[in-house]
Amino acid sequence: MDAGPFPFDVYEDQCPTRMVLDRLADKWALLLMLRLADGPLRFNQLRRDVKGISQKVLSQTLKKLERDGLVTRTVYPTVPVTVEYALTPLAQTLREPVEALTRWAESHMDAVQAAQQAYDAGAAAR
């Protein structure tokens, strides 16, 4: 059995595709990119919008996204200083796949929750 329709074997260590996939498989990164898809936002605005994210994790995640070329960080010398985060054109190409994933989550979460309840009920019986 081969690795499927992909030119690279994503199951190998060191596969660059896998490195990229590791970054995308991040709860906060996905939520932040979805939030920024509607337009640039500032640090504290993101923090208020994406509920539950801490300042530290927000800062770290934005830095990772910036390093990956998915987000730009622009500082305006106002007072207090304004920092605006925006998606890059590269991230725009990622918008459709990510939104497809959220659409799946939306339309299938009933099935997932039902499966969880059935599983938990069975586990209790064991």
Partner DNA sequence: CTCCTTAGTATCCATTTGAAACCATGTTTC
Partner DNA sequence: GAAACATGGTTTCAAATGGATACTAAGGAG
Site residues (CB under 7 A) for DNA? 26, 28, 42-45, 52-57, 59-60, 62, 73, 79-83
- The residue within the footprint of a copy of itself, chosen from 25, 75, 81, 124 (CB under 8 A), is 25
- The residue within the footprint of a copy of itself, chosen from 42, 43, 57, 66 (CB under 8 A), is 66
4 binds, among a copy of itself, DNA, none (CB under 5 to 8 A by kind): a copy of itself
Helix (H, G, I), strand (E, B), or coil: what is residue 42? Answer: strand
Residue closer to a copy of itself (CB basis): 86 or 118 = 118
40 binds, among a copy of itself, DNA, none (CB under 5 to 8 A by kind): none
- The residue within the footprint of a copy of itself, chosen from 39, 56, 79, 80 (CB under 8 A), is 39
44 binds, among a copy of itself, DNA, none (CB under 5 to 8 A by kind): DNA
Tell whether residue 86 is a contact of a copy of itself (CB under 8 A).
no
Beta-carbon contacts of residue 90 (< 8 Å; ≥ 6 apart): 69, 70
Q: What is the DSSP letter of 79?
A: S
| Cα 79 from chain centroid (whole Å) | 31
Residue pair 50/65 in contact (Cβ under 8 Å)? The answer is no
Nearest-10 crossing angle of helices 27-36, 16-24 = 70
Please enumerate, as own/partner, the contacts of 109-118 that have beta carbons within 8 Å and a separation of 24 or more: none
